[in-house]
Amino acid sequence: TLTAFLLGIGMDPNMIVDLFRKSADFNERMTRYQIEHIAGQRGSRTRYTPPKCDTLQTHGLCPGMDDLCKKISHPLTYYLRKKRRRVSGA
């Protein structure tokens, strides 16, 4: 889910590998393969997206609700709207 989100906001796969590098059981070859698979560059060539907000909430993975959550249903939409507000100063 995290990897799909980070890819969805345009983070470079190498930066994502570096984030996971701090894990105790880190294996670069396996991590890189999994990131590339989620990005649609390996395996089935399917590009995966993060689950919708209601799925994240069901699994206790939603970081918290705010007023914007009532208007959107996907974490990528949430991110883009928040980013737009920060850029515009709203």
Please report whether residue 46 resides in a domain.
no
Please report whether residue 34 resides in a domain.
yes
pLDDT tens profile 24-69? 999 999 999 999 999 999 999 999 999 999 999 999 998 888 999 9
Query: 34 with 57, same domain?
Result: no
5: enclosing H helix or E strand: helix 2-8
Tokens 């206790």 -> residue: 60
Please report whether residue 47 resides in a domain.
no
Which range of residues forms the domain containing residue 60? Answer: 53-88
Please report whether residue 71 resides in a domain.
yes
Query: 6 with 33, same domain?
Result: yes
Entry pTM: 0.88
Task: Name the nearest CA neighbour of 4 among 75, 64, 86.
Answer: 75
86: enclosing H helix or E strand: helix 75-88
Please report whether residue 25 resides in a domain.
yes
Number of domains, the chain: 2
Please report whether residue 79 resides in a domain.
yes
